Amino acid sequence: MEESEARVEMDSLAARIYALRDAYYARDELLADDAEYDQLVAQLEALEEQFPQFATDDSPTRIVGAGQSTLFAPLTHAERMYSLDNVFSDEEMRDWLSKIRGEYPQVHFLCEPKIDGLALNLHYENGRLITAATRGDGVTGEDVSENVQHIPGLPEMLTGTEHPAVVEVRGEVFFPIQVFHDMNATLAEAGERVFANPRNAASGSLRQKLDARAQAKQDAGRWRISQLKMTVHGIGAWPEPPLSTQSELYELLGHWGLPVSSLAEVHTDTEGVIDYIHRMNERREGLDHEIDGVVVKVDSWATQRELGATSRAPRWAVAYKYPPEQVSTILRDIVVSVGRTGRATPYAVLDPVTVAGSEVERATLHNQDVVKAKGVLIGDHVVIRKAGDVIPEVLGPVVERRDGSERPFEMPTHCPECGTRLAPQKEGDIDLRCPNQRSCPAQVRGRIEHIGSRGGLDIEGLGEVSAFALTQPLRPSPAPLSSEAGLFGLRVEDIFPIDYQPRDADTGQPRVDDTTGEPIVLSPFRRKRGKDDPPHQDGGDFAGTESEVPSRAAIELIDQLEKARTKPLWRLLVSLNIRHVGPVAARALAGHFGSLEAIEAADSQQLAAIDGVGPTIAQSIVDWLEVDWHREIVASWRASGVNFVDPDWSPEAGHAESGPLAGAKVVVTGSVDGFTRDGAAEAVRAAGGLPVSGVSKNTTVVVVGPGAGSKHDKALELGIPVVDQKDFSTLITEGLAAVSVLNAD
């Protein structure tokens, strides 16, 4: 490479690395995976070696980690926190080991998992935890002392005696994989944003400003912190440690009550180390946290001191990074779908492949800028991985495999469903939206599906398929529903004639019969008249035609809609599809106001004052109510008998001093159907109870659901009434006397 070229390339690499770091540390966004990031750093390092004249002092190869976000106060570590150099193969590992052994023939190596989490520095003085900080740029981190108090298993006071005046203990904070999956499932069900992987979840949980949030969010946030775990793997400042090896240190830290890894092993020969690395890779799936490699450290402290450190990493330790689970496949197409809120999202249609154990054929590409940033062309071979082993992600193209037939993606200028010109919602937004909220079929369909969802009116027969059939059938024309306004006015005879063509989830094209090639047409709401059916009569209750009668699905759907008219107010509020009003806010609103009329009469300040609502949601409600066609929905639903009043509501119950759970301390452990954790806590509060997290003899009742753990055992031990999660709705509406207690007698 020419000098001039090298210089440009080095600048560009440094800028990209800083951009990735900034996104990750300041905004919790993962724009590239570790391997990609490491590769950029390695490229820059190589160029700096070749062209030292262009290596700058502020190069990311010399400055560890990242700057801090502005949310937390800066805290300078007593001793700097280093990063680690990486090796990526057995060969590189062997080279590293033999280089050290060349100088120190008697060396012992301590091997341990490299935990994929977040580095934390705990500052103890005379055995007492004084502060805790993230790594930040290695010199100064973020003061997260407040949040760290809620991490279980971190001693505020070290056990034993004779603690040093000052010692910094370093380790990794992580989110256990199982809890991560459960939490994401709950978030997804509630329609909230999920975390990309356990590391993001750990970082997001530890680095949240709790006191700036509404009560319900604080509780949820604290719960998330309470799920974090830590493993310690080293020390910073400690003027005169009475120890000579790293393994002795772990023993001592363990005696002090700190969580040390049970997986560390000392090896003297190269093959012992390599074997450890392979064994750990095989065990990787079975561990309760993610690991991205193995860290190998020189065990002797005297040798560590002699080897010292570069500006960024110690010379006495190295990380062996495992390759992430990724595969390549063909990007067949990039299709744009429009969601409930009108957002137009491009997604990748892929040749099906298996990644990390499950089949992937679609992956979101978020928006046109992401498509551009990833540099993928339609027809490319692309690399896919599962972020956090859950959400499939397109990492980028395999450029060498292009044959010239690939073509670039062009973001449509108009909505693929209704033809309206797409536009950003406000200036500066990257996402494009279809502004035709009122009648874009995709948005209407999405809203109707949302009305039927578990967090809404929970109508089993009203899912994705029936929302489509009701709004975009082949026949009749016009469709039974042109918007949600008519939903509660539907009668059996309106839906009886529906014929619809199911669409392919990937291409949006009508599905065809595999053998005949004919488009498939379904008629879900009628069936042939059987000999047991009563004969056809004109007039009266609709009984079908001479040859056909309404299907069970038709009768049930209309029946479920009838019942839904008197469902709790909060469910009806969720069903109005007001931006930001999910189950948590809706419960808070219903609990406080008791009727939609009272909400309509309130101004934004009154709305914002409610716990669990706040100014953004309040404004969103006020704005929503000002739109004509929104008011028409409400009027039309009311006219069809929808009851926007909670019958048992009273101003006192609204303020939660009384209610079916008045004064009760309620612990909910494990998941509760139809409720998020926030939602369950809010519902307990709305019923007059106090949601608490720990079981004690003062607890009134413990609700257990799938995933319940030690709290269930504790309740049984203390004889606290235990109630199954399926009775939770009865518990909050009718009180403890109305449900069966599992451990009665």
Residue 172 CB, nearest distance to ligand IVH (Å)?
Answer: 5
Q: Within positions 627 to 666, which residues make up the interface with ligand IVH, using CB under 6 A?
A: none
Residue 739 CB, nearest distance to ligand IVH (Å)?
Answer: 46
> Which residues is 378 bridged to in the sheet?
407
Window 564-583: contact mask with ligand IVH (x via CB under 6 A): --------------------
Nearest to 42 by CA among 111, 74, 88: 88
How many residues are there in the chain? 745
Question: In 230-284, which residue ranges form alpha helices assigned H by DSSP?
Answer: 246-255, 270-283
Residue 307 CB, nearest distance to ligand IVH (Å)?
Answer: 11
Q: Within positions 135 to 174, which residues make up the interface with ligand IVH, using CB under 6 A?
A: 172
> Which residues is 129 bridged to in the sheet?
124
Query: Could you tell me which stretch among 54-62, 78-86, 247-255, 639-647 binds ligand IVH (CB under 6 A)?
Result: 78-86
Residue 599 CB, nearest distance to ligand IVH (Å)?
Answer: 48
List the catalytic residue out of 114, 297, 386, 665: 114
Query: Could you tell me which stretch among 80-88, 206-214, 339-347, 666-674 binds ligand IVH (CB under 6 A)?
Result: 80-88
Residue 84 CB, nearest distance to ligand IVH (Å)?
Answer: 4
Residue of the chain from 196, 317, 622, 715 that contacts ligand IVH (CB under 6 A) = 317
Four-CA torsion 650, 654, 655, 658, nearest 10 degrees: 60
C-beta closer to ligand IVH: residue 82 or 96: 82
Q: Is 449 in the site for ligand IVH (CB under 6 A)?
A: no
Q: What letter represents residue 93's amino acid?
A: M
390 Cβ neighbours under 8 A, 6+ residues apart: 181, 184, 194, 197
Q: Is 132 in the site for ligand IVH (CB under 6 A)?
A: no
Residue 271 CB, nearest distance to ligand IVH (Å)?
Answer: 21
Query: Could you tell me which stretch among 107-115, 160-168, 467-475, 676-684 binds ligand IVH (CB under 6 A)?
Result: 107-115
Query: Could you tell me which stretch among 96-104, 108-116, 210-218, 481-489 binds ligand IVH (CB under 6 A)?
Result: 108-116
C-beta closer to ligand IVH: residue 261 or 595: 261
Strand order across the 166-174 sheet: 128-134, 118-125, 166-174, 229-235
The DSSP call for residue 229 is: E
Please state whether the peptide bond connecting residue 651 to the residue before it is cis, i.e. omega within 30 degrees of 0: no
Residue 150 CB, nearest distance to ligand IVH (Å)?
Answer: 21
Residue 317 CB, nearest distance to ligand IVH (Å)?
Answer: 5
Nearest to 457 by CA among 674, 610, 220, 173: 674
Please state whether the peptide bond connecting residue 113 to the residue before it is cis, i.e. omega within 30 degrees of 0: no
Burial label, 110 (beta-carbon count in 10 A; 0-12, 13-18, 19+): buried
Burial label, 717 (beta-carbon count in 10 A; 0-12, 13-18, 19+): exposed
> CA-CA distance, 554 to 480, in Å (whole number)?
13
124 Cβ neighbours under 8 A, 6+ residues apart: 130, 158, 163, 164, 166, 167, 168, 169
C-beta closer to ligand IVH: residue 289 or 526: 289
Known catalytic residue at 531? no
Quick check: helix, strand or coil at residue 522?
strand
Residue nearest to ligand IVH (CB): 119
Query: Could you tell me which stretch among 112-120, 150-158, 424-432, 711-719 binds ligand IVH (CB under 6 A)?
Result: 112-120
C-beta closer to ligand IVH: residue 235 or 621: 235
The DSSP element (H or E) to which 348 belongs, if any, is strand 343-355
**Backbone phi, then psi, for 642, in 5-degree steps?**
-70, 130
C-beta closer to ligand IVH: residue 99 or 552: 99
Residue of the chain from 33, 48, 112, 494 that contacts ligand IVH (CB under 6 A) = 112
Taking residue 692's Cβ as centre, other Cβ atoms within 10 Å add up to 19
Residue of the chain from 295, 298, 467, 703 that contacts ligand IVH (CB under 6 A) = 295
C-beta closer to ligand IVH: residue 82 or 195: 82
C-beta closer to ligand IVH: residue 82 or 409: 82
> CA-CA distance, 16 to 12, in Å (whole number)?
6
Strand 86-87 relative to strand 317-321, pairing: parallel
Window 217-256: contact mask with ligand IVH (x via CB under 6 A): ----------------xx----------------------
> CA-CA distance, 282 to 223, in Å (whole number)?
32
Residue 217 CB, nearest distance to ligand IVH (Å)?
Answer: 28
Q: Is 115 in the site for ligand IVH (CB under 6 A)?
A: yes
Burial label, 158 (beta-carbon count in 10 A; 0-12, 13-18, 19+): buried
> CA-CA distance, 227 to 207, in Å (whole number)?
14
Nearest to 605 by CA among 595, 615, 593: 615
Query: Could you tell me which stretch among 10-18, 248-256, 311-319, 563-571 binds ligand IVH (CB under 6 A)?
Result: 311-319
Q: Are 513 and 507 in contact (CB under 8 A)?
A: no
Quick check: helix, strand or coil at residue 190?
coil
Interface with ligand IVH (CB under 6 A), residue total 14
Q: Is 83 in the site for ligand IVH (CB under 6 A)?
A: yes
Residue of the chain from 17, 47, 66, 119 that contacts ligand IVH (CB under 6 A) = 119
Q: Is 319 in the site for ligand IVH (CB under 6 A)?
A: yes
719 phi-psi bin (left φ>0, alpha ψ -120 to 50, beta other): left
The DSSP call for residue 422 is: P
Query: Could you tell me which stretch among 111-119, 446-454, 465-473, 550-558 binds ligand IVH (CB under 6 A)?
Result: 111-119
Query: Could you tell me which stretch among 299-307, 312-320, 551-559, 580-588 binds ligand IVH (CB under 6 A)?
Result: 312-320
C-beta closer to ligand IVH: residue 110 or 574: 110
C-beta closer to ligand IVH: residue 295 or 731: 295
C-beta closer to ligand IVH: residue 317 or 607: 317
The token pair at 399 is 């450029």
Residue of the chain from 84, 167, 415, 578 that contacts ligand IVH (CB under 6 A) = 84
> CA-CA distance, 446 to 463, in Å (whole number)?
10
Residue 438 CB, nearest distance to ligand IVH (Å)?
Answer: 51
Q: Are 216 and 681 in contact (CB under 8 A)?
A: yes
Residue 115 CB, nearest distance to ligand IVH (Å)?
Answer: 4
Residue 144 CB, nearest distance to ligand IVH (Å)?
Answer: 15
> CA-CA distance, 115 to 135, in Å (whole number)?
15
> Which residues is 588 bridged to in the sheet?
none
Residues classed as catalytic: 114
Q: Which residues bind ligand IVH (CB under 6 A)?
A: 82-84, 112, 114-115, 119, 172, 233-234, 295, 314, 317, 319
